[in-house]
Structure 1
């Protein structure tokens, strides 16, 4: 490992601003039926995003 590093030619992370404006999320352990988990795996959905979107849609309608 070096004692000093030169960052004068460094480039700002283009995703930094998006990270600051992301909504805050909390971690939660959720137990789902095998049928639901298997369906998401078979259909290759990003299950966390899809389940989050389904729950938000449900809340809007109730």
Structure 2
């Protein structure tokens, strides 16, 4: 390793301004397993896959219809 690195000509990471917030969310085991299996197939972290899936829901304005039985 060098003693000193010169970053004066460096470029700012274009993805650094993306707003991501760390949260805690409760998910069923089968949901986590589903996305973890997908992560193994794609080589992408499962958290990223979940995020992309939810972003797609936002972009497509998908709404979940929930009906509770009496």
Whether TM-score is above 0.5 comes out as yes
List per-residue Cα deviations over 1:1-24 (Å, max 9, x = no partner).
Answer: xxxxx53xx243xx8621773402
Q: Against the structure 1 CA distance between its residues 16 and 33, is the aligned structure 2 distance closer, same or farther, given a 3 Å change threshold?
A: farther
TM-score normalised by L of structure 2 = 0.56
Runs of 4+ in 1 over 6 A off after TM superposition: none
Q: Between the two structures, name the one with larger relative contact order (CA 8 Å, sep ≥ 6).
A: 2
The answer to whether the 8 Å contact 2:35/2:46 transfers is yes
2:23 paired with 1:24: no
Size of the aligned set, in residue pairs, is: 53
TM-score normalised by L of structure 1 = 0.62
Name stretches of at least 5 consecutive residues in structure 2 with no aligned partner.
Answer: 62-70
Root mean square deviation of aligned Cα: 2.6
Larger helix percent: 1
- Any idea what SS the aligned residue of 1:17 has? coil
